[in-house]
Amino acid sequence: MKVKVLVTPKATVLDPQGAAVRDAMQHLGMPEVNSVRIGKYLEIEVDDKTPNLDSRLNDLCRDLLSNPVIEDYEVVK
């Protein structure tokens, strides 16, 4: 099974990379772009016959794949 994890900076955390890309997009003819936030996208191949997969995956999303102080995550199957 392929699991997709999206990690995004929390709304309260400044994302200077996103701001730079927003500026570039505006500069390149899209002044209507209001904001860009840059996060991470992970594709994880996992054996889905293992027990407690969801909770174990969520634990690792919280502890390793994201830092809850600055990021949110979402698991998409």
Partner 1 sequence: MKFAVIQFPGSNCDQDCLAAVNGISGVSAEYVWHKTTSLDGFDAIVLPGGFSYGDYLRCGAIARFSPIMASVVEAARNGTLVIGTCNGFQVLCEIGLLPGALVRNRGLHFICDMVTMRVEVADSAFTHGCPQGSLLRLPIAHGEGCYVADEATLRELNERHQVILRYATPHGRIDPSANPNGSAENIAGICNREGNVFGLMPHPDRACEARLGSADGRKIFESMIETIGSSRVRAA
The nearest distance, CB 22 to partner 1, in angstroms, is 13
Q: Based on the number of CB atoms within 10 Å of its own CB, is 61 exposed (0-12), middle (13-18) or buried (19 or more)? A: buried
What is the token pair recorded at 51?
């027990």
The nearest distance, CB 53 to partner 1, in angstroms, is 20
- Judged by the rule CB under 8 A, the positions of this chain that interact with partner 1 are 9, 12-14, 16-17, 20, 40, 64-65, 67, 69-70
The nearest distance, CB 49 to partner 1, in angstroms, is 26
Cα separation, 12 vs 77, in Å, equals: 27
